[in-house]
Amino acid sequence: MLARASATITGSSSGANVVANHAHLLLDPPHVATDGQQEYQHPIALMPLLQQQQQQQQQQQQQQHQQQQQNLAQALTLQLSHQQQQQQQQLFKSEHNKTLTQL
């Protein structure tokens, strides 16, 4: 809070008397700050927002990484399963061919 002096003008028959130096506590709104103050106030005010955005980005990246890892694991499992099926089919065919040749 900043103390500001204000002047009160009172009218009388002898003329205008100025009563000065009444101190009032006033809050400076952000748009009243000087250029130098604004240079520091805006980045400081934005820091929590920037930190929140960075945290959200990190969380999204972690989630994407986890999803990619899960997708890779599923793909590997499917590939191994497919290879096993092919091996079983080849084994079945070879056993079937042996049986046919024996007949």
pLDDT of residue 39: 58
From CA 103, how far away is CA 59, in angstroms rounded?
66
Read off the pLDDT of residues 17-59 as tens digits, 9 standing for 90 and up: 444 444 444 444 455 556 555 555 666 777 888 899 999 999 9
For the chain, what are the domain ranges? 2-102
From CA 48, how far away is CA 50, in angstroms rounded?
5
Angle at the Cα of 31 from the Cα atoms of 1 and 6, rounded to 5 degrees: 50
Overall average pLDDT of the 59-78 stretch: 97
Is this prediction's pTM over 0.85?
no
Provide DSSP, 37-48.
Answer: HHHHHHHHHHHH
- Flag whether pLDDT at 92 surpasses 90: yes
Top pLDDT among 5 and 39 is at 39
- Flag whether pLDDT at 85 surpasses 90: yes
Three-state DSSP state, 27 = coil
